[in-house]
Amino acid sequence: MIIQCDFDGTITRNNLSVLLRENFAHSGWRKIDSDYLCGRLTVEQSNRQQYALIKEPKEKLQQFVRQHIEVRPAFRQFVKQCLASGIRFTIVSSGLDFYIEIVLKDIGIPEVELYCAQTYFGQDGITVTYQDPEGNIIEKGFKKNYLTWLRKQNKPIIYIGDGLSDFEAASAADYVFATDQLHRLLTASSTSHYIFSDFSDIWHQICQFENWKASQTGEKGEPEL
């Protein structure tokens, strides 16, 4: 089993990317964000344009992030349970490396498998790039590209997410845990999924998967809680 998990609004209750843009980008970011929500830009193009508006140094932005970390309950324990049970846990986020890595370090799991946007801080703002698993720069389908890559392991894929940028990849996963906007989008498209509030909800359901599998094979494979 492999888990592909979003970051902003999923691992964190709040959206750090939005907070950064609200506090450090000028008002032009809202028009760009609107273009994304209306489908005129991909999330990759949108983030690249919006973060170019931010001229603050990385250290100042990271200090701001540290003051606004709101991790969803049971996340650290969930990651440890996955690793102890042989479940591959990956974070695939359209968010940016400079703040995601700070959060993971501060909550004590800096070594978790992470794929996200790469950034460079310069006089012209923050340069944002997305690369597919082969290292090619891309401007759309970042999360779906990684799901396709992970699927080569021939294991069931669980997707965890909360928003519009998760919809394409989530729709291609074997099992989906959704909250907020992603839940509404999947409901509207009649896509089967589970609702979650915190990561203990997800772990409980994974154990139900394992119990069912054990009942079919006669093997005891339930992860330890």
Q: pLDDT digit string (tens) for 125-156?
A: 999 999 999 999 999 999 999 999 999 999 99
DSSP-assigned letter for residue 71: B
pLDDT of 26 reads: 84
Q: What is the mean pLDDT of residues 17-30?
A: 94
Say which CATH class 2-217 falls into.
alpha beta
Quick one: which of 30, 24, 19 has its CA closest to 66?
A: 19
CB neighbourhood size of 162 (10 A): 25
Checking if the pLDDT of 21 tops 50, the result is yes
Statement: residue 213 has pLDDT above 60: no
pLDDT of residue 123: 86
What pLDDT score was predicted for residue 223? 46
Does the CA dihedral 32-36-39-45 come out positive or negative?
positive
Cα gap 113→185, rounded to integer Å: 27
Chain segment 25-49, per-residue pLDDT in tens: 988 899 999 999 999 999 999 999 9
State pTM to two decimals: 0.92
The CA-based diameter of the chain, rounded to the nearest angstrom, is: 62
Q: How many angstroms separate the first and last alpha carbons of the chain?
A: 17
Cα separation values, 52 from 27, 34, 45, 126, 191, Å = 13, 16, 11, 5, 35
How high is the mean pLDDT of the chain?
92
Pairwise CA distance, residues 141 & 151, whole Å: 15
> What tens digit of pLDDT does each residue of 89-111 get?
999 999 999 999 999 999 999 89
Cα angle for residues 137, 132, 6 (degrees, 5° grid) = 120
pLDDT band at 220 (very low <50, low <70, confident <90, very high): very low
Query: Mapping DSSP to helix (H, G, I), strand (E, B) and coil, where does residue 115 land?
Result: strand
Tokens at residue 38, please? 């209306």
Which pair of tokens denotes residue 158? 């669980």
- Where would I find the H helices in the chain? 16-24, 28-37, 43-51, 58-66, 75-84, 97-106, 142-151, 167-171, 180-188, 199-217
Retrieve residue 198's tokens: 């915190």
